[in-house]
A and B are shown apart, each in its own frame.
Chain A
């Protein structure tokens, strides 16, 4: 049973515009969320995280929003750049219960120059 879902397999955005990637989860005990970026033939690279005590975390062009009541998080990239074209995975875990992270199936972002 998939506890973390990314329902959009792909997204295309013009350069300079905002990219919004979405992620939903089912386990209300999750309290730590991460986004990873993955280029072809490489492993995922950590991008940004958020804990459940916050509803927003920002790092440069990347902002993650968390809506606990809706069990939903989103990653905003603004402005989008061609180098942002990659697959983005969200992941979730329950802190301090072990080393178990649950991943979504990824959203492939294409930023069109």
Chain B
């Protein structure tokens, strides 16, 4: 059973489009995250939610909007995609903010 699953695994789309990435965890964790790994392999946090409440919102363009319908899901919606959004996006979860995180396998987003 996959603990943290995110879909799709690959996403190729045109500049200007709107897309969503879904994330679900079956670990019963209270905290979920979105990370962006850029071309330099730098893994940087974008958002953190605890029990559906936004905890961390790093300096991310407001074209990126996380949505947490329940504590097992944290989806990422991106409006008006730009070339610089090309990256691998990882979803993660942890029991609380002080525990190691469990990561999904990533979504590779490519903007044409």
Contact = CB atoms under 8 A, between A and B. Distances in A.
A98 B105 contact: no
Contacts of A95: 98
A69 interface: no
B55 interface: yes
B104 A43 contact: yes
Contacts of A2: 42
B98 A32 contact: yes
B44 A103 contact: yes
Nearest to A38: B103
A93 B96 CA distance: 13
A74 interface: no
Contacts of A32: 98
Interface residues of B, number: 27
Interface in A36-92: 36, 41-46, 49, 87, 89
Contact of A34 (B42, B100, B106): B100
Given A96-B98, A99-B55, A106 B105 contact: no
Contacts of B35: 103
A32 B98 CA distance: 8
Contact of B100 (A42, A49, A100, A106): A49
B105 A41 contact: yes
28 contacts: A2-B42, A34-B100, A36-B103, A42-B106, A43-B90, A43-B92, A43-B103, A43-B104, A44-B43, A45-B103, A46-B100, A98-B48, A98-B55, A98-B56, A99-B33, A99-B48, A99-B50, A99-B94, A99-B97, A100-B48, A101-B101, A103-B35, A103-B42, A103-B44, A105-B40, A105-B42, A105-B43, A106-B41
Interface of B: 4, 31, 33, 35, 40-45, 48, 50, 55-56, 90, 92, 94, 96-98, 100-106
Given A44-B103, A101-B45, 20 more contacts: A41-B105, A43-B104, A43-B105, A44-B43, A45-B103, A46-B101, A87-B41, A96-B98, A98-B55, A99-B33, A99-B55, A99-B56, A100-B48, A101-B101, A103-B35, A103-B44, A105-B40, A105-B41, A105-B42, A106-B43
